[in-house]
Chain A
Amino acid sequence: MKNLQQELLFEKLRYETRRHFLKQCTTGLGMMAMGSLLQSCGSTQQNTSVSNPLSPKMPHFAGKAKSVIYLHMAGAPSQLELFDYKPDLMKLDGQSCPPSFLEGKKFAFIRGVPQMMGPQAQFQQVGKSGAWMSDKMPHLQSVADDISFIKAMYTDQFNHAPAQLLLHTGSARLGRPSTGTWATYGLGSENQNLPGYMVLTSGGKNPDGGKALWGSGFLPSVYQGVQCRNQGEPVLYISDPTGINRDIRKSTIDAITEINKESYEEFHDPETLARISQYEMAFRMQTTVPEVMDITKEPAYIHEMYGTQLGKESFANNCLLARKLVEQGVRFVQLFDWGWDSHGGGSEDTDVANGLTKKCSTVDKAITALIQDLKQRGLLDETLIVWGAEFGRTPMAENREGKAAAFKGRDHHTEAFTVWMAGGGIKGGYSHGETDPVGYVGIKDRTSVFDLQATIMHCLGFNHEEFTYPFQGRNFRLTDTSGKVIQSVLS
């Protein structure tokens, strides 16, 4: 604790310097960006932001969350079988969809007049808060009181890739920075021996939106997510090549550093000093990354808790990894799981009844464990967890090309879906927003993906409207031109 005061002072100083730097270097609004971003202005002093773009920075105000774990269920699970309980929909099961639901609407695959389909799950009220949850996520029920559900989410993209892009970058088109990029750009990272922004995909399969979902867009590429690999080394080129052991690596880095110091003496280029520290950091990263990525040393009860599968690639393993990463100070961790696209076509695995139950069983325990584990370590308060997908699913059964599917499936749905948040800055045991009796559209407190982004930014300490970057003549921000912080879910 003795250093806390000093640290704060230092942070404040750094913040002031930065503000000064912003003011002095501008010729207009937000002109700090681009070329001068990584370099100081009119000063020869080596401040940390010169040599290291990822050094910790202060946000607009003190945010409650220090880091974010974003759990994305790519493909989009059905909210109607998980969190948005609609008994009335059951009564309409098998009936033709009313024309008002279809007029002027476009669906990815539904054609003609589909039939309504009741929830394919049992619901019950759980926890002190009495949240309605289905039996598909039995473990998660135990932490219901830590969660804020957002039930009237909507988006305007009904295809996976554009909807995922919109959710993570604020635009359905390619080219914008992702949420994690904004976060690391604005906050830097707490641990310089690890990348500040890491991405874990189940089974190494990328989501439809591709790397752009953790891409840096028009921000410098240093802020993009580093994808952890499911085969070979955990981060590309992190391991020493065969035949080079740590001692040899140390000798080479020492030699590089010594010679670079010579170069600095000669040219006095601050860039050279930066390079020296980057090589030293790379060397440390080579130890830290494999260490933190190695879950085998975790105690048995932790493995049991998460339901990890050692030696295999699993979402549960990634959840445990996510905990380890935020524990080490990684700013933003994004998990992508796949196989949630419950169209019901082709096989039972993709239906919303048994298929979805099976799918849920691969994540339920791990997600619950993640919340509990963070809590027992006192990290939940400063770690924001977001669970969700790119859109929801229709209350109607899918009838691809006009014919009923062999298995019970639902089409992509933009008008209503559920996202939940927990941890840093978020109230527990709360539910925000409401959909109509069949779960077709939000009727109270509709929440856009921009609102969600604004809330994430708020939890991290940013006013999303002022957190901008000039590009092509516009001050771009994550939330584009809209977004309101969801005040009621804040703790």
Chain B
Amino acid sequence: MNTNKLLFISSIIIIGGYSVYSFLGEGNKVNYSTEVKPILNKHCIACHGGVKKQGGFSLLFREEALGKTESGKPAIIPGDAKHSEFIIRLTHKDPEERMPLKKEPLKKEEIEILTKWVNEGANWGEHWAFVKPEMPKVPNKGFFAGLLSWFSSKWEKNDIDYFVKNKLDEEGLSPSKQAEKSILLRRVCLDLTGLPPTEKQIQDFLKDDADNAYEKVVDSLLASPQYGERWAGMWLDMARYSDTKGYEKDEGRNIWQYRDYVIKAFNKDLPYNQFIKEQLAGDLLKNPTEEQYIATAFHRNTVNNDEGGTDDEEFRNATMVDRVNTTWEVFQSTTFACVQCHSHPYDPIRHEDYYKSMAFFYNTRDEDIPDDSPYLRQFTKPEDKAKLTDLQHWIKNNVGSAKEQEISHYLTFLEPKIHPHSGDQFINGALADTKYLGIRNGGSVRFKSLPLTGKRQLLVAYGNKTGSPTLMEIRLGSLTGKVLTTIKLDTTRKGGWTNSWDYQLYDLPKMDGRQDWYLTFKNAKVKPDQSTCIIGSFTLLPEFPGRGRADYAEKKKEFLALVSANTENTPVMLDSPKEYARQTHVWERGNWLAKTKVVQPDIPASLGKLPQNAPKNRLGLALWLGSKENPLTARVAVNRFWEQVFGTGLVETLEDFGTQGFTPTNAALLDFLAVKFMDEYQWKPKKLLKEIVMSATYQQDSKANQDLLAKDPMNRLLARGPRVRLSAEQIRDQALLVSGLLSKKMYGKSVMPYQPEGIWNTPYSSMAWKTSENEDQHRRALYTYWRRSTPYPSMITFDGANRDICLARRIRTNTPLQALVTLNDPVYLECAKHLAKKMDKVGGTLDEQISSTYQFTMCKTISEKKLAVLKRLYSTTFQTYQKNRAEAEKLLNICPDDNIKPKNIPDLAAKTLVASTLLNLDEFIMKE
């Protein structure tokens, strides 16, 4: 026996000995997270948790559990199970006393665990996900394992594989061999770019015999612009991105630039923590770029309610709730929705924590306004751009750059606006359509406690179509108070309704502090029941700078022109200046009208602390989320990427990493990837994805067999490659690509591909589906106009999200309505016809044509049997169409085409059906 073999054997003894030791070691002490907490969650916490605290006893936090109960005594005495009521009650003879009340008693083993736990001091362990991940040791990768590879050729390609193999060994499974080259190519193309390979990609790859042929493909896919489009698709469900506002009329929202931002962020491999920072707090960064402002539209994707009669404040508060829930769900997979009404029933998050989180968001300017204020204004017309540059220069040169920045900022956002809904004490007037100020002749309204220090101008957005000017008198303190000023609202060009305002600037005398304004409107020409004008908003501004300069009046006019200019407006996040700041309260039982204690922005103590020096605002929150101290962020992100590739996350419940979520199938692997993502990859998704797709685990064949199905039906352990149904977007994009129709055009306003008549029948809405022209009909699915009330039908049928609220995970279903889409939707028939034409172009025999078409649509060689089936289909249908050419013509009329020779019609129609069959095959709808 040589030394190496000796070493090997002794190592086995050592390892064996160690495992016995560690088994005993762990067996000695009860593990809170894995042994105790599940019992408490299952049997106790419904009555003794964050919601109910029966008998004054709660098991959520240790200090509560050890505290006095209603009986005056504590229920748990650490170290003394015998005298702990908590344990005594589990076996109490009196059924009225025994816990759990009116339910089956706990199992003997469960009682033993709890007893032991109390005797050991009743220590609360931390839930795995709330503890910072540490870099685990890669299993079996050391010296000795190297020796093992003597006996077999090594399967592992990178570290991921050691973790996976380790699990497989434990379960007595072995990994599958590598998938066929072309199948692997299709898989990796779909995973990284959302599209199958083109014919050229297939040919090139099959020809390339280099060792790194696969890696070269991976690199080129990661570098392709389609990569960003594919991953944006995942993100937009979570961001609940949509082109409309949601409720009732469900009118349009101009927010497509956010979608483009997400695509670009993925394409430039923006570090994930920077991605978080820009979306949550781009506006709070130093000198934010336009793109960083647009990133904040992430949280402007909330639904708006424009229905007449709705309370804007109610829906603003609903938005706040949504932002809190979404933030925690997207970045932390922590279920926060329940904490709105009470402390978390299972996880250590207190009721108050919800409102501390809400306080990060509570101060933004948006107030459920139909025009989606506040928005970023982009000047698109050259003359406006020139005007802006000129004005900026003038202020910089004559007043200073601080003032210039202030004015530029104002012109970019037109904030802070005072909206009519903050008015009250209406006399002979009301909020028109519960939105705009409509006061009749002699009527009045109050605006309470306006901050007036330093305000010397009033900007009014209004419409006056009465034919005569309206006078608006401003009085201080009361209806009979001192007249501050009277302004004249001349007739206007625009009518004064959503986004249709004229703007006027009025000088104000010097004022101080806060005052109530009473506005009285006079216009003797209007009828008694007619409004004197319609007002959209007011803005209080400091004096326009540069008074005394010769061209002052002219520049002020220029300023007003820029205020009135038509711009590209994208809703963004913008905080209120201090003087308009709101306070956040705890809402009793989650009711926004029942405000109690005031809270400041903070994160739940149980999850960590804001970094030192971090501001207590959204930026601070983003910094904490993106810091390495955060135990969840990297794990959650890595898990999402993993799920997109393998079909199931390492933690299956993508949306819940709390104690109610699933435990990871491979915790060490999750931590390994999370730590690597943060440290080595610097939060860059491309590197992470490359590691994943370069693993042997990923490259395995996806065939199952009876043994694998018996031991691991869901493929959680990954002894085979992923076989998963494609997403709604991928199914459409794939059909367009293989048929040669797909447009590669990127970015821009959402498009309207073919949609059947009568889908958009939303009440009171004038919006219409206008089919896009030319290549815009065949853009990738993520550019399709997304209307919340009536999303694009085929997308929803294939489990696309409604986008009303954040959706962390699409559940894949398999239904007959899906079959009807790919069989009968004209989009898919059009694809089939084009695919048939491609088939025709292949030339050669029918066998060759079908085989070749199959080859480039499925990325594999057709079997004899499948070929026979398709040939039979061709000949049956060809005969039918030859007998009945009119029918064939009707089929081909799905899209106009003058180039088909009449004699070829039956042939092409039959081929269209063969092509349609290909587009409906399981192997086409699935990633293999």
- With a CB–CB cut-off of 8 A, which chain B residues contact A268? 703-706, 709
How far is it, in angstroms, between the C-alpha of A236 and the C-alpha of B791 when the chains are bound?
14
- With a CB–CB cut-off of 8 A, which chain B residues contact A270? 709, 713
B846 at the binding interface (Cβ < 8 Å): no
Interface size class of B (residues with CB under 8 A): 35 or more
B916 touches A239 (CB 8 A): no
How far is it, in angstroms, between the C-alpha of A360 and the C-alpha of B386 when the chains are bound?
62
Give the residues from 256 to 280 in chain A that come closer than 8 angstroms, CB to CB, to chain B.
Answer: 256, 258-260, 262-264, 266-272, 274-276, 278-279
A279 touches B873 (CB 8 A): no
A243 touches B890 (CB 8 A): yes
Nearest CB on A from B758, distance (A): 5
- With a CB–CB cut-off of 8 A, which chain A residues contact B703? 266-268
B894 touches A241 (CB 8 A): yes
How far is it, in angstroms, between the C-alpha of A206 and the C-alpha of B762 when the chains are bound?
6
B866 touches A262 (CB 8 A): yes
A269 touches B704 (CB 8 A): yes
How far is it, in angstroms, between the C-alpha of A236 and the C-alpha of B818 when the chains are bound?
11
Residue of B nearest to A260 (CB): B922
B634-675 contact mask (Cβ, 8 Å, vs A): 1 or 0: 000000000000001000110110111011000000000000
- With a CB–CB cut-off of 8 A, which chain A residues contact B872? 255
Given the interface pairs A221-B797, A236-B793, A237-B823, the reply to whether A278 lies near B816 with Cβ below 8 Å is: yes
The A interface is mostly helix, strand or loop, or mixed, namely loop
A474 touches B335 (CB 8 A): yes
B250 touches A242 (CB 8 A): no
- With a CB–CB cut-off of 8 A, which chain B residues contact A205? 761, 763
B307 touches A473 (CB 8 A): no
Residue of B nearest to A275 (CB): B922
Given the interface pairs A232-B757, A275-B814, the reply to whether A240 lies near B824 with Cβ below 8 Å is: yes
- With a CB–CB cut-off of 8 A, which chain B residues contact A255? 869-870, 872-873, 917
Residue of A nearest to B863 (CB): A262
The interface stretch among B75-83, B288-296, B336-344, B739-747 is B336-344
The interface stretch among B85-93, B461-469, B767-775, B805-813 is B805-813
Nearest CB on B from A316, distance (A): 20
B325 at the binding interface (Cβ < 8 Å): yes
Residue of A nearest to B818 (CB): A278
- With a CB–CB cut-off of 8 A, which chain B residues contact A279? 816, 819, 920
A37 touches B811 (CB 8 A): yes
Q: Which of B659, B790, B820 contacts A210 (CB 8 A)?
A: B790
A27 touches B38 (CB 8 A): yes
- With a CB–CB cut-off of 8 A, which chain B residues contact A152? none
B335 touches A44 (CB 8 A): no
Q: Which of A28, A34, A239 contacts B41 (CB 8 A)?
A: A28
Given the interface pairs A28-B42, A38-B811, A282-B820, the reply to whether A256 lies near B335 with Cβ below 8 Å is: no
Give the residues from 201 to 243 in chain A that come closer than 8 angstroms, CB to CB, to chain B.
Answer: 201, 204-212, 215, 217-218, 220-222, 224, 226, 229-232, 235-243
A473 touches B816 (CB 8 A): no
A358 at the binding interface (Cβ < 8 Å): no
A94-118 contact mask (Cβ, 8 Å, vs B): 1 or 0: 0000000000001011010000000
Residue of A nearest to B821 (CB): A237
Give the residues from 346 to 397 in chain A that come closer than 8 angstroms, CB to CB, to chain B.
Answer: none
Residue of A nearest to B886 (CB): A243
B632 at the binding interface (Cβ < 8 Å): no
Nearest CB on B from A466, distance (A): 12
- With a CB–CB cut-off of 8 A, which chain B residues contact A402? 428, 430
A174 touches B813 (CB 8 A): no
Nearest CB on B from A264, distance (A): 8
How far is it, in angstroms, between the C-alpha of A248 and the C-alpha of B826 when the chains are bound?
17
How far is it, in angstroms, between the C-alpha of A36 and the C-alpha of B759 when the chains are bound?
32
- With a CB–CB cut-off of 8 A, which chain B residues contact A220? 799, 811, 813
Q: Which of A44, A106, A252 contacts B913 (CB 8 A)?
A: A252
Q: Which of B648, B756, B865 contacts A232 (CB 8 A)?
A: B756
Which of B790, B823, B863, B872: most chain A Cβ within 10 A? B823
Nearest CB on B from A287, distance (A): 12
- With a CB–CB cut-off of 8 A, which chain B residues contact A210? 247-248, 250, 762, 788-790
- With a CB–CB cut-off of 8 A, which chain B residues contact A272? 922, 926
How far is it, in angstroms, between the C-alpha of A272 and the C-alpha of B818 when the chains are bound?
14
How far is it, in angstroms, between the C-alpha of A256 and the C-alpha of B706 when the chains are bound?
24
The interface stretch among A124-132, A157-165, A292-300, A457-465 is A157-165
How far is it, in angstroms, between the C-alpha of A159 and the C-alpha of B305 when the chains are bound?
11
How far is it, in angstroms, between the C-alpha of A44 and the C-alpha of B42 when the chains are bound?
28
- With a CB–CB cut-off of 8 A, which chain A residues contact B659? 28
Given the interface pairs A44-B713, A206-B762, A208-B248, the reply to whether A243 lies near B917 with Cβ below 8 Å is: no
B145 at the binding interface (Cβ < 8 Å): no
- With a CB–CB cut-off of 8 A, which chain B residues contact A212? 789, 802, 804
B916 touches A252 (CB 8 A): yes
A221 touches B813 (CB 8 A): yes
A403 at the binding interface (Cβ < 8 Å): yes
How far is it, in angstroms, between the C-alpha of A215 and the C-alpha of B703 when the chains are bound?
36
Q: Which of A42, A208, A259, A285 contacts B820 (CB 8 A)?
A: A285
Nearest CB on A from B834, distance (A): 15
Give the residues from 1 to 53 in chain A that come closer than 8 angstroms, CB to CB, to chain B.
Answer: 27-29, 31, 34-40, 42-44, 51, 53
A43 touches B799 (CB 8 A): no
Residue of B nearest to A220 (CB): B811
B808-848 contact mask (Cβ, 8 Å, vs A): 1 or 0: 01011111111111011110010000000000000000000
B735 at the binding interface (Cβ < 8 Å): no
Give the residues from 873 to 928 in chain B that come closer than 8 angstroms, CB to CB, to chain A.
Answer: 873, 876-877, 880, 887-894, 909, 913, 916-917, 920-923, 925-926, 928
B763 touches A207 (CB 8 A): yes
B796 at the binding interface (Cβ < 8 Å): yes
B920 touches A262 (CB 8 A): no
B26-53 contact mask (Cβ, 8 Å, vs A): 1 or 0: 0000000000001001100010000000
Having A34-B809, A259-B917, A268-B704, one finds 19 other A-B pairs with CB under 8 Å, namely A28-B346, A34-B653, A36-B652, A161-B307, A201-B761, A208-B307, A229-B758, A237-B823, A241-B826, A262-B866, A266-B703, A272-B922, A275-B819, A278-B816, A470-B656, A473-B335, A473-B347, A473-B660, A481-B341
Interface CB pairs A-B, < 8 A, 12: A44-B713, A109-B309, A201-B761, A206-B762, A207-B763, A222-B799, A237-B793, A266-B703, A267-B723, A275-B814, A472-B338, A473-B344
